Amino acid sequence: MVGTPWQMVVAYVVIIASSLSLLTYWITKKFVLRKMNRTIMKAEHNYQQQIASLQMQLSGKVTVLEGMVNKLRLSNQELTRLNEIRSKFMSIVAHDLRQPLSSIQGFASVLMMDGPQGSGNNDQIALNNILKATDNMNMLMADLMDISMIESGRFKMDGQPFTFNTLVSDVVTLQAVNAQKKGIFLQKYDYPKDITVTADRFRLSQVLSNLIGNAIKFAPQGGRVEVSYYDEDPYLVCRVSDNGPGILHTEKEKIFQKFHQSDNNRNLKKQGWGLGLSIAQEIVNAHGGEIGVESAGLGQGAMFWFAFPKVPVASPAKPTV
């Protein structure tokens, strides 16, 4: 049975469409897909070449980095060695110079006693200058010994119970002589009750002596230095105030660094070596305490303070200064 013309047309169209689809598929498979495969293979080859190039560059950089690390390691070893030599040198110099300095000081003292008292002659003036110079050198030797022990890890505290009130009185009594020579009024405010602490008495007296000595040194002629202390359980807080030249805000962070000396007063700059406050900070830190300075600025004086636990504990509450 023969279909209608319309059915025949539809059949022909279907046949032609199928043929075109097959032809399109064949062309696509034959040319387009092959071209895509070539493109993909080429891209993959380029990608592999780039990876290989990057790997070579990375390998070269790793080699350079390893060389730099080795050089840095050797440099660190050399710096450590040089630092150990420097510490030993400081210790040896400080130790070996003490003996001749003590001899010079002793002989100068004997000659001073043998000479006429109050004569004011040139020999007596020279001997007095020698004694002052040896005193300064002995203080420098002591500071160098302390710095050497700090850097070598041998700076230890000997904690023993004692009354802090007595320590303050002893230190102020000794510093009063220097204050009188300069016409400084040294005022001590006693705490009404005895405060017993467990700490290294000698080292804390060293801290307080340094702070009072600096205050006397920087206070103007006829100035005033005040020392106070109080109990803020579990801390003890000590303050030393003066009406000296004051401290710039930018100096506060640097003032406790080794060998740092303020440029505020060039006439006073040569009176020290910039070690005392650094050593004081190490002593206070070794007691688990803090040390700092407050000043409203140049010409406004300064107030140095330090605080430490009365009895060594792990982490006491911070004091209010």
**Tens digit of each residue's pLDDT (9 = 90 or more) over 266-275:** 444 445 567 8
Specify if 321 maps to a domain. no
Domain shared by 292 and 255, yes or no: yes
pLDDT given for residue 169 in this prediction:
94
Is the pTM for the entire model greater than 0.95?
no
In this structure, are 78 and 170 located in the same domain? no
Q: Which of residues 112, 133, 155 is at a domain's end?
A: 155
Interval 235-263: pLDDT, tens = 999 999 998 888 888 777 788 887 666 65
Taking only the tens place, the pLDDT of each residue in 1-22 is 445 777 777 777 778 877 777 7
Taking CA atoms, 226 is separated from 159, 186, 187, 241, 275, in Å, by 27, 6, 5, 5, 23
Question: Residue 292 belongs to what domain range?
Answer: 160-309
Residues 151 and 180 both lie in one domain:
no
Bridge partners, 113 (sequence order): none
Give the phi and the psi of residue 291 in degrees, each rounded to 5: -140, 145
Tokens at residue 278, please?
């650094």
Residues 177, 288 within the same domain: yes
Tens-digit pLDDT profile for residues 53-100? 888 888 888 888 888 888 888 888 877 776 666 666 666 666 666 667
How many residues would you count in the chain?
A: 321
Question: Strands 160-163 and 196-199, how do they pair?
Answer: antiparallel
Q: Are 221 and 295 in contact (CB under 8 A)?
A: no
- Asked if the model's pLDDT at residue 152 lies above 90, the reply is no
Pair 221, 263 in one domain: yes
- Centre a 10 Å sphere on the Cβ of residue 261 and count the other Cβ atoms it contains: 16
| Structural domains counted in the chain | 2
Whether residue 141 is found in the same domain as residue 166: no
